[in-house]
C-alpha cells in the first residue's frame, strides 16, 4: 500500500536527529530486506506525526521544518484501541512483520518498566527532535513550552523516556527530573524516565 506523506521534511529532520537513539537504531535494523530502511524510518516519523496530530499533540516550528515534538495524552479506550490498531497496520504494511514484532516487544517492555514510576494520567513526550544543524541553538524549548503550559492548565504531570544521556540536562531546564533508569532488553540499551510535575513553571532554554 502506498504511503501518503503529510510532513515529509519534518520527518526527514527527525530521522537525522535520532540516528543515535537505541530505539530507532533497533527499529531501522528490523525493517525487512525488501525495503529501504532509511525510507521506512522516514515514513515511521511521518506516520508518528500524523498519529500525534490525530490523538495527542503535534508541535511544529512556525515557518520551518527543522524538527517537531510529538505527545500523547489520555484518551478513551475506544480511541486508544483505534490508534494502536492503525499503528500496527502501518508497521506491518510499510516496515514488515519483523518491525511490527520488534515494536511490540519494545513497547511492551518499556510500558512494564516505566509503569513502575508513571501511570496513564500522565501526558507523554514521545518524540522531540531537531535536525543536527539546528541543535544547540536554543530552538528546542519552543517545541516544548506550549504543551507543558497546556498540561499545567489541565492539571497533568508529564513524562518522557530517553536513551540519550546527554539530553538529560536539556530536559532538566524545563523541570523534568530523572525518576528511574532501566535496561531495555530488546534494544540492549539503558534508558531514563524523566517526570515533570504540573505547575512547576520553570522554562529555561
CATH number attached to the domain at 8-196 = 3.40.630.30
Question: 0.85 exceeded by the pTM?
Answer: yes
Q: What is the pLDDT of residue 200?
A: 78
Interhelix angle 97-114/22-30, nearest 10 degrees? 150
Q: Looking at the predicted structure, is the pLDDT value of residue 14 above 80?
A: yes
For residue 146, the tally of other CB atoms under 10 A from its CB is 12
Residue boundaries of the structural domains of the chain: 8-196
| Model confidence pLDDT, tens digit, residues 137-188 | 888 899 999 999 999 999 999 999 999 999 999 999 999 999 999 999 999 9
pLDDT tier, 203 (very low <50, low <70, confident <90, very high otherwise):
low
Position with higher pLDDT, 186 vs 135: 186
Cβ atoms of 70 and 7 within 8 Å: the answer is no
Share of the chain above pLDDT 70, in %: 98
Please give the grid coordinates belonging to residue 187. Answer: 534494544
Position with higher pLDDT, 202 vs 193: 193
Amino acid at each position: 500500500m502506498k504511503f501518503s506523506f503529510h510532513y515529509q521534511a519534518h520527518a526527514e529532520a527527525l530521522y537525522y536527529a535520532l540516528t543515535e537513539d537505541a530505539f530507532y537504531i533497533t527499529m531501522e535494523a528490523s525493517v525487512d530486506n525488501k525495503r529501504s530502511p532509511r525510507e521506512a524510518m522516514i515514513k515511521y516519523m511521518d506516520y508518528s506525526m500524523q498519529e500525534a496530530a490525530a490523538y495527542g499533540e503535534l508541535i511544529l516550528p512556525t515557518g520551518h521544518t527543522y524538527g517537531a515534538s510529538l505527545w500523547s495524552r489520555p484518551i478513551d479506550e475506544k480511541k486508544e484501541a483505534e490508534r494502536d490498531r492503525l499503528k500496527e497496520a502501518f508497521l506491518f504494511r510499510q516496515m514488515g512483520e519483523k518491525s511490527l514484532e520488534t515494536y511490540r516487544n519494545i513497547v511492551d517492555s518499556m510500558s512494564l518498566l516505566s509503569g513502575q514510576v508513571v501511570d496513564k494520567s500522565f501526558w507523554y513526550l514521545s518524540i522531540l527532535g531537531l535536525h543536527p544543524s539546528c541543535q544547540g541553538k536554543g530552538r528546542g524549548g519552543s517545541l516544548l513550552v506550549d504543551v507543558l503550559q497546556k498540561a499545567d492548565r489541565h492539571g497533568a504531570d508529564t513524562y518522557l523516556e530517553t536513551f540519550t544521556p546527554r539530553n538529560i540536562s536539556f530536559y532538566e531546564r524545563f523541570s523534568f527530573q530523572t525518576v528511574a533508569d532501566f535496561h531495555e532488553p530488546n534494544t540492549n540499551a539503558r534508558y531514563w524516565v524523566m517526570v515533570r510535575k504540573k505547575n512547576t513553571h520553570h522554562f529555561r532554554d
